[in-house]
Structure 1
Amino acid sequence: MFSVLVCDDSSVARKQVAKCLPQDWHVSVHFAKHGREALNQLDQGKGDLLLLDLNMPILDGYETLQAINDLNLNTKVIVISGDIQPEANERVRKLGAIDFIKKPVNGEILRETLVKHNLMAGEENQEIEPESLDQDIRDCYQEITNIAMGRAGDHLARIMDVFVKLPIPNVNLIEVSELHMMLSDIETHERVTAVCQGFLGAGVSGEALCILSDSSFSDVARILKVTEEVDDQIQLEMVMDAASILIGTCLTALGEQMDLHFSQGHPVVLGQHQSVNDLIALNKVKWRRTLAIEISYGLEGYNVHCDLILLFTEESMTTMNSKLAHLLEDD
């Protein structure tokens, strides 16, 4: 029997992809949480077709594609990812992927893609290997963030004509005392400039924090072809521009997935050339206990590091959990 291997670190995404497979396709379906798991299953003959995510721990999608080439494994690969940068599409095709589908996956588009590549057998229902039904709402937040992060990265990549390195988003319900742990990729001695922007939706409120390390400014200026001296005012404008792109695009994409419309307040400078610890100390009363989503963007080939943190009030989770409940339901 033809077999399909769905590889994604999100259990919600794996389940969505499986539900979007054509119901008249006679296949067996298997699952992997990351690239290394996928390679082990491919080695066992599970996966005539691999539906592959890009942003995963252990072994990401790019590394998995390279390993498939190196090991000469016989499988066709379709990438399904929230990273919609044109260069991401180009890179996976160069590594051997036969097609690219953006998240969230659409059943009709998936069927058309399968037909286009002569993969459809057009017979009975598929046999799906059991996947745990005990879904964690945290995984839902991570999956919708993954999609929003990809759209924001694509927006930034097109404006700056660079390739944006996308991370695995970090989602946690934390106390303010734990907030500094989310910034472990920023050295304690690093100086940063930060902008905060409040947002509001029906039953949901929070703040978005955009932090750019001071060491990034020279490369950002080079990318933007800034010819004058990069003084404090120009640096602040750079942070404001980055915040506008990342915050606006992420909130729009999150809102679309939860059927919410977010209005945004005016951006406020939290600090310029401050340490991360000082930044947190100055604002700890404001944040208290919060649902925190962290995304750390980088630009390939440049020393540019930008953290985007979305802080939702604890009360907002009731509305958001209700909006996300459909992701945990069976058809």
Structure 2
Amino acid sequence: MSTRVLICDDSKLARKQLARVLPTDWDVEVEFAEHGQDALDILSSSAFDLLFLDLNMPVKDGYETLEALQSFEQAPAVIVVSGDVQPKAIQRVKDMGAIAFHKKPASSEELRSLLLSLGLMTDSDDKESKPTVAAPTAAEQFTLNDCLQEVSNIAMGRAASVLAEMLNVFIKLPVPTVNILEVGELQMALDYSVKDDSCSAVSQGFVGSGIAFETLLIFSDSSFPDMAKLLGVTEDITRELETELLMDVSSILVGPFMAAIGKQLNIDFSHSHPMLLGQHVKIADLINVKKATWKRTLAVEIVYEVENYQISCDLMLLFTEDSVPTLENLLSFLVEEDE
């Protein structure tokens, strides 16, 4: 009898990647859910044996889904598959009932080993059987935004894990947003994310394999006291100390993030030195500094928040318009590798 498997992830690319690496000798029927609420609706009307669950999703995230499943009379076994590899995230999902955690992107060998260790499949399964996967629809075609969002999601989790381990905190992670923005739209997006009247920002340029972009890390000025506390700074917070804190946190977040992006795209990016773009300024002032460069850009935005602390920072990747065709081509190869 086939094992019924539900893959829940808001990323079309992630759903496809996971379905592709399921063991070919595992007799399963696979269906998909686009977010936690979608999965709960499906599970309410039909029984499944196993749920592969992402964490960072809209509508209902993985944590909310796990909590809701605790009231189900016949809940499936849950394996969380996520780019959020913070030790505290892994422990939380296990405390909430998940039987295992697997980092994104999953490989066929690692996944097979995990399933065997959990007793969810055996080597005696029919070697000729193949997973039965729901046929793709037109909506399952991948766009540049879909692919870049998932690549950024994985990189976001790697960077958060480094910061979380260093500071012994839990980083709340969002779903990355990807949009092509005119400079006025970029200012509106930043105004919405940065709620304070003033902020400070660090920028850094990256280039490699025909792709050029800038990272922009924006801190709400209200974050500085708690940032100093977490980094063990006891002296008075001067402008010089603020600059040092900005550069330290920028290095911690941007370095691992770019390493993870480069690994997924198979690119070694060259980079400039980080630069203080503005200190205690309004978003409009930041935009004015770079208005000529940012006329039209492909923007990836991630808002990091530290749980139980008043710390929020907005990481943006701003790709030049000329880089978009090359990036689209590279990401299409990433999709084809899973065919």
1:273 alignment counterpart: 280
Q: CA deviation at 1:281?
A: 2.4
Confirm or deny that 1:80 pairs with 2:81: yes
Residue-by-residue CA offset, 1:212-262 (whole Å, 9 max, x unaligned): 111001111111221100111111111111111211111111111111111
User: Contact 2:303/2:312 (CA < 8 Å) preserved in 1?
Assistant: yes
Q: Report the Cα distance in structure 2 between the residues aligned to 1:323 and 1:185, rounded to whole angstroms.
A: 29
1:17-62 Cα offsets, whole Å, 9 max, x none, are 0001111111110000000000111112242100000000000001
- 2:242 and 2:47 mapped to 1: Cα distance? 52
In the other structure, the counterpart of 1:186 is 194
Aligned partner (choices 168, 174, 181) of residue 181 of structure 2: 174
Partner Cα separation in structure 2 for residue 269 and residue 112 of structure 1? 47
Amino acid at match of 2:193: D
Q: Which runs of 5+ in 2 are unaligned?
A: none
Helix, strand or coil for the counterpart of 1:217?
helix
| 1: CA distance, partners of 2:199 / 2:284 | 10
Q: CA RMSD in A?
A: 1.3
Letter in 2 for 1:91: R
* Mapped partners of 1:30, 1:248: distance in 2: 37
1:287 has 2:294 as partner: yes
Structure 2 match to 1:319: 326
Q: Secondary structure at the match of 1:270?
A: strand
Q: Which runs of 5+ in 1 are unaligned?
A: none
SS of match in other structure, 2:222: helix
Distance in 2 separating the partners of 1:15 and 1:254:
19
Q: What is the alpha-carbon distance in structure 1 between the residues aligned to residue 73 and residue 198 of structure 2?
A: 46
> 2:314 maps to which residue?
307
**Is the CA contact 1:164–1:297 (under 8 Å) kept in the aligned structure 2?**
yes
Partner Cα distance (2:73, 2:257) in 1? 38
Take 1:35 and 1:289, find their aligned partners in 2: how far apart are those partners?
34
Counterpart amino acid of residue 325 in structure 2: T
Q: Deviations over 1:299-329 (max 9, x none)?
A: 0000000011111111112222121113333
222-231 or 127-136, larger mean C-alpha shift: 127-136
Counterpart in the other structure of 2:113:
112
| Mapping of residues 226-241 of structure 1, within 5 Å | 226-241=233-248
SS in 1 for 2:293: helix
The equivalent residue for 1:18 is 19
Counterpart amino acid of residue 110 in structure 2: I
Tell me the equivalent position of 1:257.
Answer: 264
Q: 1:125 aligns with which of 119, 125, 130?
A: 130
The more displaced of 113-122 and 96-105 is 113-122
CA–CA distance in 2 between the matches of 1:154 and 1:84? 6
Name the counterpart of 1:160.
167
C-alpha offsets along residues 137-194 of structure 1, whole Å, 9 cap, x if unaligned? 210000000000000000111111111111110111111111023221222x521010
8 Å Cα contact 2:208-2:270 kept in structure 1: yes
